[in-house]
Structures are given as structure tokens and as C-alpha cells.
Amino acid sequence: MILPMVVAAKSLNKRYRDVVAVAALDFEVEKGQCYGLVGPNGAGKTTTMKMVYCIVTPTSGSLRVFDMEVSLQPRKIKARLGVVPQENNLDPDLTVCQNLMTHASYFGLSRDVARSRCQELLGFVQLSERSDSRVPDISGGMKRRLVLARSLINNPDLLILDEPTTGLDPQVRHLIWDRLLELKDRGITLLLTTHYMEEAQKLCDRVLIMDQANAVDMGSPAGLVRKHVPPYVLELRVERRLIQKIQERFRHLGHQMSGQNVYFYGNSQDEFEEIVAAYPDTERIMRPASLEDVFLKLTGREIRQ
């Protein structure tokens, strides 16, 4: 027997008047997986997520969550979801604990169940001591942890996280990663978007790269790196006047430009020897290729509006 997918999208489309936000998207998320959507701003990641949690209606195509169609059974689907939206939409007039209690009430949880869940979850995100603080009085990192705790109040089977760690300090980011991996170990399926390729590489089993409403490629982080870029990268920071000269001289080596940086790609570090010899005093970094290189290769290094 084939287990139904937690999320299954087939030629999924979303149009807002004349703007195509998501075009002919196909993807499947297996139970227990951490699935990442990455792509430049405006690629359609958030719209895709919002269709999964049923607050944006697909224009056409099929989107099934827990084997139910989103447009037909949103209430049943949402009862099993946890959502961490891009913006912290906490209740500023309520305390930390009251925020969780109120959210629990939307799921119809009894006060006793909600209270014990509330204590447990505040411990999980290390906020127990701030239980009675008002939301405006806690830090940005605490707010993000509170939103994570809130998303878990109903013991969800699928957790949706829209840029869970954007703008957070490294300590909080590591704490959140740690907690997400723990949730994954418990069998919870994770669907997340991120702008940090390090985060995608660390957390995700599968990554879908989106650009301008379309899927560009999909695979495991390591698989995508193998497929799209050679294993080694040499980053060279050079003066502008030298850029063209270098480009011409090392035309035979695969390279990309970004501002004052030239990125060379090679199958071994030896391939870079002649460059290093030619420009010994230039600032440079040699490193293994990463998902970030794949991302920039597939979606371009230029900044787009």
C-alpha cells in the first residue's frame, strides 16, 4: 500500500488579477519529511504556503493536504496544522500565556488541556519565566519562540513555517533549529520557507527551488549541489578594473560574477592553482560548494525587484 502524501500539489496555479503568483507547481511532501521552499522574494513561496493552510484559494489545479482537497475541507485540514507565519501576529494586549490559551480556544481545546499544553510548550521554547509578561515587553527572539510554541498548541501533524528564523540572532536561530529537528524526530512533517541556504541544508530532506512563480528544481540539498555545481569554489575579491582581464584569461574555467567577486568552480582544488599563482595577493576563499551556489546559479546573482 502506498501511503498518501501529507501534501500533494498537482499543476497548482494561483493568479491575483493579472499577476501570476504560482504557476503549474507540482510537489509532494512525505510524512515525517522536512520540506523546504527556497527562492528570491516574490517567487511564490508564501502564496504556496498559504494555499496549504487554506487562507489562499488556488485558481486551478489540485492541492491535497492529508489527502483532503484544500478548497473542500479547510476546517478539517486546519485542525491538524500548526502555522508560523512570516510576521509575528501575536496579541499585544495579552500575556505570553494568554496568547497560547486564546489560540488553544480556536481549536476548541478545553481550558485544562490548554493550560497543561501551555506550560509544556513554554518550557519547550524556554519561555517559562516569561509566562506572565505582556508581548510588547519581550524581545524579538522571544516573540518568534512564542509563535513557534503557539503553532504547536494543537499537537499538529504538519507544521508550516514561513521564514522561521529571519532576523534572529545566532543563539535563537540555533535553538529554533534544534527544536525543529526534535519535532521532526517525533514524526511531525515540516514545510518551511527560508532565505538561509545554511538553514535549508541543515534542516531539509528535500528542497524545492522556486523563481518567478515556477519550480526551478527539486531534490535533496546534497543532490542539488552535485547536480548543479562542481564540488569546489574559489571566491576572488578583485578590483573592478581587473575583472575583465581575469575573465578573459580564465575563460576556460567555469565562473560567475557578482559585484566585485568572481566565483570559480572546479572539480578539485588543483584547478585553481594557476589563478592563485597569478593573483597571489588577492583576497580569496576556497571552500566546498553549497546550496547557496546552486541557488545563485539557478536564480541569478543580480538583485531583482
Partner 1 sequence: MKAGILAVTPAFFRVWRRNSQVYVALLKFNILPSLAEPVLFITVFGLGIGSYITEIEGVPYIEFVAAGILGSAAIMQATFECTYGSFFRMSIQGTFESIISTPVSASEVGLGEISWGASRGFVNSSLVLIILFFLGILDRWQVMFIPLLMFVAAFNFAAIAVLVTSRIAQMEYFRFYFAGFILPAQFLCGTFFPVSRFPEAVQVIAWTIPFTSVIDIARTLMLGRPADFALFLEGAWVFISTLIFTELAVRSMHKRLVR
DSSP secondary-structure letter at 134? B
| CB contact at 8 A, 231 and 288 | yes
Q: Classify each residue of 262-299 as buried b or exposed e, where b means 16 or more C-beta atoms within 10 Å of its C-beta.
A: bbbbbeeeebbeebeeebeeeebeeeebbbbbbbbbbb
Binding-site member from 2, 18, 75, 303 for partner 1 (CB under 8 A): 75
What's the rounded Cα separation, in Å, for the pair 177 and 191?
A: 13
94 near partner 1 (CB under 8 A): yes
105 near partner 1 (CB under 8 A): yes
Number of neighbours of residue 204 by Cβ within 10 angstroms: 22
Binding-site member from 10, 11, 67, 108 for partner 1 (CB under 8 A): 108
Binding-site member from 2, 19, 87, 170 for partner 1 (CB under 8 A): 87
16 near partner 1 (CB under 8 A): yes
Q: Classify each residue of 97-112 as buried b or exposed e, where b means 16 or more C-beta atoms within 10 Å of its C-beta.
A: bbbbbebbeebebeee
From residue 137 to residue 156, the character string flagging contacts with partner 1 as x (rule: CB under 8 A) and all else as - is -----------------x--
Q: How far is the CB of 192 from partner 1 (least distance, A)?
A: 15
Q: How far is the CB of 58 from partner 1 (least distance, A)?
A: 11
Choice between 68 and 276, CB closer to partner 1:
68
Task: Return the C-alpha cell found at 304.
Answer: 531583482
Give the residue carrying C-alpha cell 489562499. Answer: 56
C-alpha 191, offset from chain centre: 8
Give the residue carrying C-alpha cell 511532501. Answer: 29
Q: How far is the CB of 44 from partner 1 (least distance, A)?
A: 14
The 3-state DSSP class for residue 71 equals: coil
What's the rounded Cα separation, in Å, for the pair 114 and 118?
A: 6
91 near partner 1 (CB under 8 A): yes
From residue 238 to residue 277, the character string flagging contacts with partner 1 as x (rule: CB under 8 A) and all else as - is ----------------------------------------
| CB contact at 8 A, 51 and 57 | yes
Choice between 37 and 100, CB closer to partner 1:
100
Q: How far is the CB of 264 from partner 1 (least distance, A)?
A: 45
Radius of gyration of the chain (CA): 22
From residue 41 to residue 70, the character string flagging contacts with partner 1 as x (rule: CB under 8 A) and all else as - is ------------xxxxx-------------
Give the residue carrying C-alpha cell 534544534. Answer: 178
Binding-site member from 45, 103, 143, 228 for partner 1 (CB under 8 A): 103
Choice between 89 and 116, CB closer to partner 1:
89
Binding residues vs partner 1 (CB under 8 A): 16, 53-57, 71, 74-76, 78-79, 81, 83, 85, 87, 89-94, 98, 102-103, 105-108, 154
